[in-house]
Amino acid sequence: MDEIRHQLKLYGYKSNTIIEIIFKYYKNLKIKKHINSSNINHDIREATKEYIRSELEIIDVTKNFDTIDLISFFPEVKVKNESSFYDSVLNKYKYYDGFTDSLKKIKQNFNEEQFVSKVKKEYPKISQKNLEKAIMNIKSFKSYNPINRWMLFEIDEIKFVKDWLKSFGNRYELAVGCHIKNNNIPCPNCNKKTIKKAGGGYNSYIDLVCKNCKTIFEIKSKRKFDINMKNYFGGSYYGFKSIPKEYQIILLIVDSDTNKVYISKNIEILPRVEPRTFSKNNSPLYTYINLQDELEEWFTIKNILSEKEHNLIVDNIVNNIDDLCKTYKSISL
């Protein structure tokens, strides 16, 4: 609770309302009884096709919104997104004062016609209601306040789906799974060759799972990887809290420059506030993954699709769906 309050203050939020909403939501959380899994395909191209088709079962394109920072339409304002509970370096009071001055300038120089033109060009699906709300929010900028700053904008369905499936992390998650399959790599906890992929993709904290000892593998891919880094952003806190108590979580870090995979068995997971907390229903939390020991090198990935190859597979599958909206069912946080 205290770390959440601290993070909210770093985002400039002073009210306790959102705290009440957050913890009311998590109070009703249901813990899963077990975690479904399926075999990993040894061929990375086929594994990619399987992954895309399985994701198309869970993304709801009828509710496609993106969390937009209204400040991003004013490039003259330089914004930091400092929200870490551990960031003692941030001189928040000095920064708030500077940010408030920038907001005053935005209000003073606000050209509604130019703003509307920018938004419609970048987000042609936006509703008139949300466009009017965005204008009202900007005109009411008073302080470093997340409620006015972040909004949900309607976005193009096809773009939403393709961006989701073409993500940098997805390529490396698939490559890690296929490498484990092709090289008969055993679980580091039980030494059994029983690592599977999580079935259905409903939990952002379950990339791979050992069916023998109930070890979960969370995979994070990093550009310009620093082996001394101790804190990583993780996915849904709701997803983490719903994991059965008997499962252990192991963190895998992929260095995209070398394709080396590092492992940490001792991690701490804490809740994290981010922009989606302020814009989405139920005010979802996300996570920090903190390493409690040193990373160890586990293996090097031998085969991985290039970005171009991966994206081509996504395009071919998505472009051949007749009715995208009927393909999707639900989406997790």
151: containing domain: 65-155
- Inside any domain, residue 149: yes
Reduced to 3 states (helix: H, G, I; strand: E, B; else coil), residue 103 is helix
| Beta bridge mates, 215 | 210, 248
Residue closest to 293 by CA, chosen among 262, 270, 271: 262
Sign of CA dihedral 303, 308, 312, 318: positive
170 and 32 share one domain: yes
Q: What is the pLDDT of residues 78-128, one digit of tens each?
A: 655 444 434 443 444 444 555 677 778 888 889 999 999 999 999 999 999
Whether the per-residue pLDDT at 331 is higher than 70: the answer is: no
Sign of CA dihedral 302, 224, 8, 85: positive
Whether the per-residue pLDDT at 216 is higher than 90: the answer is: yes
147 and 184 share one domain: no
- Inside any domain, residue 268: yes
- Inside any domain, residue 323: no
177 and 245 share one domain: yes
Q: Distance of CA 303 to CAs 186, 195, 225, Å?
A: 18, 18, 19
20 and 167 share one domain: yes
Q: Which of 92, 127, 155 is the last residue of a domain?
A: 155
- Inside any domain, residue 326: no
Residue closest to 233 by CA, chosen among 275, 281, 271, 278: 271
Average pLDDT of span 31-43: 89
Sign of CA dihedral 27, 33, 38, 40: positive
What does the radius of gyration of the chain's CA atoms come to, in whole angstroms?
A: 21
- Inside any domain, residue 322: no
133 and 244 share one domain: no
Domain count of the fold of the chain:
2
Q: Which residues contact 195 (CB under 8 A, 6 or more apart)?
A: 40, 180, 185, 186, 187, 208, 209, 210, 217
DSSP one-letter code for 89 = S
CA distance 31 to 247: 12
Pairing of strands 215-222, 248-255: parallel
| Predicted pLDDT of residue 199 | 65
105 and 7 share one domain: no
148 and 168 share one domain: no
53 and 174 share one domain: yes
* CB 150, CB 72: distance < 8 Å: no
The CA dihedral of 119, 121, 123, 124, to the nearest 10 degrees, is 120
133 and 255 share one domain: no
**pTM exceeds 0.75:** yes
57 and 69 share one domain: no
Residue 60 structure tokens: 């709801």
Whether the per-residue pLDDT at 191 is higher than 70: the answer is: yes
Q: Which of 115, 138, 155 is the last residue of a domain?
A: 155
Q: Which of 155, 187, 202 is the last residue of a domain?
A: 155
Average pLDDT of span 176-190: 96
Least confident of 7-16, 177-186, 294-303: 7-16
- Inside any domain, residue 317: no
Residue 257 banded pLDDT, cuts 50, 70, 90: very high
104 and 128 share one domain: yes
- Inside any domain, residue 301: yes
DSSP, residue by residue, 180-244: HHHTTPPPTTT--S-EEEESTT--TT-SEEETTTTEEEEEEEESS--TT--EEEES-HHHHHTS-
222 and 258 share one domain: yes
DSSP one-letter code for 63 = G
- Inside any domain, residue 108: yes
Whether the per-residue pLDDT at 175 is higher than 90: the answer is: yes
Question: How many helices and strands in the chain, by DSSP H and E?
Answer: 12, 12
Whether the per-residue pLDDT at 238 is higher than 60: the answer is: yes
What is the rounded average pLDDT for all residues in the chain?
84
Q: What is the pLDDT of residues 271-322, one digit of tens each?
A: 998 888 888 888 899 999 999 999 999 999 999 999 999 999 999 999 887 6
Residues 9-17: contacts with CB within 8 Å, 24+ apart? 9/92, 10/82, 10/83, 10/84, 10/87, 10/90, 10/92, 11/83, 11/144, 11/146, 11/273, 11/278, 12/96, 12/99, 12/143, 12/144, 12/145, 12/146, 13/145, 13/146, 13/147, 13/278
